[in-house]
Amino acid sequence: MTEFEPRLSQMPLPEPPPALRTRMLAQARREHRWRTVERVWRWTLVAAAALLLIANLHFAQAHEREMVALVGPPGIERPIETKVFVQSLAHRQRLLTAWCSGEFPSELKEERL
Amino acid sequence: MDSDRELLVRLARGDMVALGALYDRHARRVYHLLLARGLEAPEADEVLPEVFLALAERGRKLRHVDNALAYLLGIARHLAHRVRQRRPPPGLALADPAREDNTDIAAMQLLRQLPPEQAEVVVLKVWHGLTFEEIGQALAVSPNTVASRYRYGIERLRALWDEG
C-alpha cells in the first residue's frame, strides 16, 4: 500500500442510516411469520388432499365389492363358451328364416325373435 | 462471537437475532458496494434492507451457503443492477443533498469516476481492509483479477487526486 491509500481511506464514505436496521428487522420478522403461516396452510392443504384421495380410493373399492356381490363379476371376465354361442346364433337364424318364409314351426311359436 | 456460518445456520432456522448480527457485521460493506456500483444514497437506503431480506427469505437453503459476505454482495450487485436499469430519466434523478456532506461527496465523486468493477474493489480494499483473496471470494473472481482491477482503480484515483 502506497501513501495514497491511507489518505484515501481517511475520506469518509456515506454510512447507512441506523433506522434502516430496525425497519429491516421488523419487516424480516413480519415476513418470517407470514412464511410460517403460509407453510402451515400449504401442508394442511397437502394433507387434506392426500386424505381425500385415500378416502376416494377406499370408497371406490368398497363400492366395487358391493356391485360384485350384487351382480357378479363383469361379463367380460367370464369365458365365452363358443359352442353354445354358435348354437344359439344358428337357432336364431333358423327362427328368422322360418318366420320370413311363413312356415313358422308350431313348436317354435312361443318363441319370438 | 458466532461465525458467519453459524449465524447463517441460525437464520435458516428462523432466528432473526442472527439476521441482526449479520447486518451489524456486513451492512457497511454492502452499503458501500452499492454506492460503488453507482447507486445514489437514497437508492442504497432502499436496497440495503432488501439485500438482507432476500438473505432471510432463502430460509433453509442458507444451510448450504458457505460465505455470507459473498452471498450478500452477490445479491447487492444484482439489485444494484436492477435499480440502475429502472432509473427515471436524468432530469428526474433522485437527489438528497441533506444526506451527503462535502467530504462524503468528495469520496464518492472520486469513486464514481471509476468503472463499477474497479470502484467496488477499491472500496472493499481501502475502506474495509479485505485482502485480494477475500475480495476475490466475495465477488467470485480470481485474486489476480481483483489485484489488477485495484491497481487500475488506484492509478486512476491518484491521477484524479493530483488533478483536483
Selection from B77, B89, B93 nearest residue B41 by Cα:
B93
DSSP annotation string for B42-96: HHHHHHHHHHHHHHHHTGGGGGG---HHHHHHHHHHHHHHHHHHTPPPGGG----
Query: What is the pLDDT tens value at each position of chain A, 113 positions in all?
Result: 568 888 888 888 888 999 999 999 999 999 999 999 999 999 999 999 999 999 999 999 988 888 778 777 666 556 667 888 888 888 888 888 877 877 766 666 655 54
Architecture field, domain B1-97 = Orthogonal Bundle (1.10)
- Fold observed for domain B100-164: Arc Repressor Mutant, subunit A (1.10.10)
As a whole number of angstroms, the distance between CA B51 and CA B135 comes to 18
Q: Which H or E element spans position A39?
A: helix A19-71
CA distances from A30 to A26, A37, B18 (A): 6, 11, 15
Classify residue A75 by its DSSP letter. G
- Provide the residue ranges of all domains of chain B, joining segments of one domain with +: 1-97, 100-164
Question: Can you say whether residue A104 is alpha, beta or left, with left for phi > 0 and alpha for psi between -120 and 50 degrees?
Answer: beta
Taking any CB pair shorter than 8 Å as contact, residues of chain B touching chain A are 14, 16, 19-20, 23-24, 27-28, 31-32, 35, 41, 44-45, 48-49, 52-53, 56-57, 59, 99-100, 103-104, 106-108, 110, 122-123, 125-127, 154, 157-158, 161
Q: How many residues in chain A?
A: 113
Most confident of A42-51, A61-70, B4-13, B29-38: A42-51
In the predicted model, is pLDDT for residue B97 greater than 50? no
Q: How many Cβ atoms sit within 10 Å of the Cβ of residue A10? A: 11
d(CA A68, CA B55) in angstroms, rounded, equals 60
Q: DSSP states of B3-38 as a string?
A: -HHHHHHHHHTT-HHHHHHHHHHHHHHHHHHHHHTT
C-alpha grid cell for residue A15? 454510512
Interface size between A and B, measured as CB pairs under 8 A = 82
> pTM of the full predicted structure?
0.69
Whether the CB-CB separation of B54 and A27 falls below 8 Å is answered with: no
Which residues of B fall within a CB distance of 8 Å from A4? 154, 157-158, 161
